[in-house]
Amino acid sequence: MMPLHVEIALLSDRGGRNYNEDACGHWQSERQLCCVLADGAGGHGGGDVASKLVVQGVVSHFARQPSQNGAALGELLRSTNQQLRAEREPGTEREDMHSTAVSLVLDLASGQVHWAHVGDSRLYWFRAARLLQRTQDHSLVQTLVDAGLLDEAQMNSHPKRSELRSAMGLPDEDLEVSCGDGMQAAQPGDVFLLCTDGLWEYLDAEVLERSLAAAPSQQAWLDTLAAEVRRRTAHKNSHDNFTALTVWVGAA
């Protein structure tokens, strides 16, 4: 297989909130790309501290010891969770900070892909502008969908869509981490999207596919997604931060 080349674009918007609790970043060597995105919670500034700690923790751990599969990346998230909990300070804004996390690793030589996540920030994998795979949220509404009690199309508007089963900051024994390895290698033309719930809540898979197919560039695609979120939240006084990181794959 020919080596892969990647292009990365970022979008982060505080939406209708006073400050942005989302964070994202990436690390790349000649062989591997690691991307991570986090959505913090905790109030009074604790959320933005938590999300930054998660991104910095995952990137620094990975740079020291790159993961080779989803299970190893999941353990890296658990190590980062211990680091986040160690940074808590009773009586301050850091007392009860939590964060979601989603991380993607792409081997640029083999095309192998693996990922891990906690919470409801998502990874989408597109091929030929059609959704190939996405992560499943650790949330109440995802549990209802899995049990056949709720249709997936109803997830975005459910009143309890923000209730999480798992988040970074929980004790190790309560932390639910999901990880995966791609059933096939990434190919030139594939697109990955990591995003927070502030984005996917307003944009279903059909909107993502249609806008991706029409986009002349990755930044144009993100601009379109941002404009659509703003349009759909124009009636709200306060809507969530929204953040996206996209990776477009080509041949080196």
Q: Where are the domains of the chain?
A: 4-251
* 34-58: average pLDDT: 89
Q: What pTM does this model have?
A: 0.93
Q: Which pLDDT tens digit goes with each residue over 178-198?
A: 999 999 999 999 999 999 999
Residue with tokens 């604790």: 46
Rounded Cα–Cα distance for residues 134 and 89 (Å):
35
Kindly report the backbone phi and psi dihedral angles of residue 54, in degrees, each rounded to the nearest multiple of 5, phi listed first. -65, -50
Instruction: For residue 21, give the nearest of 1, 42, 7 by alpha carbon.
Output: 42
Which are the contacts of 185, defined by CB distance < 8 A and separation ≥ 6? 1, 110, 111, 112, 113
In this prediction, residue 186 carries a pLDDT of 97
How far is residue 148 CA from its own chain's centroid? 25
Which are the contacts of 65, defined by CB distance < 8 A and separation ≥ 6? 76
Picking from 11-20, 114-123, 216-225, which range would have the lowest pLDDT averaged per residue?
11-20
**H/E element holding 99?**
strand 98-99
What number of residues does the chain have? 252
Judged against a pLDDT cut of 80, whether residue 31 lies above it is answered with: yes
Residue with tokens 């190790």: 172
Structure tokens at 135: 């992560």
- Identity at 174, one-letter amino acid code: D
CATH of 4-251, one of 1.10.240.10, 3.60.40.10, 3.40.640.10, 3.40.50.1370: 3.60.40.10
Judged against a pLDDT cut of 60, whether residue 44 lies above it is answered with: no
Bridge partner list, 39: 22
In this prediction, residue 77 carries a pLDDT of 98
Which are the contacts of 197, defined by CB distance < 8 A and separation ≥ 6? 39, 100, 120, 121, 122, 161, 162, 240
Which are the contacts of 112, defined by CB distance < 8 A and separation ≥ 6? 106, 181, 182, 185, 186
Structure tokens at 24: 């994202």
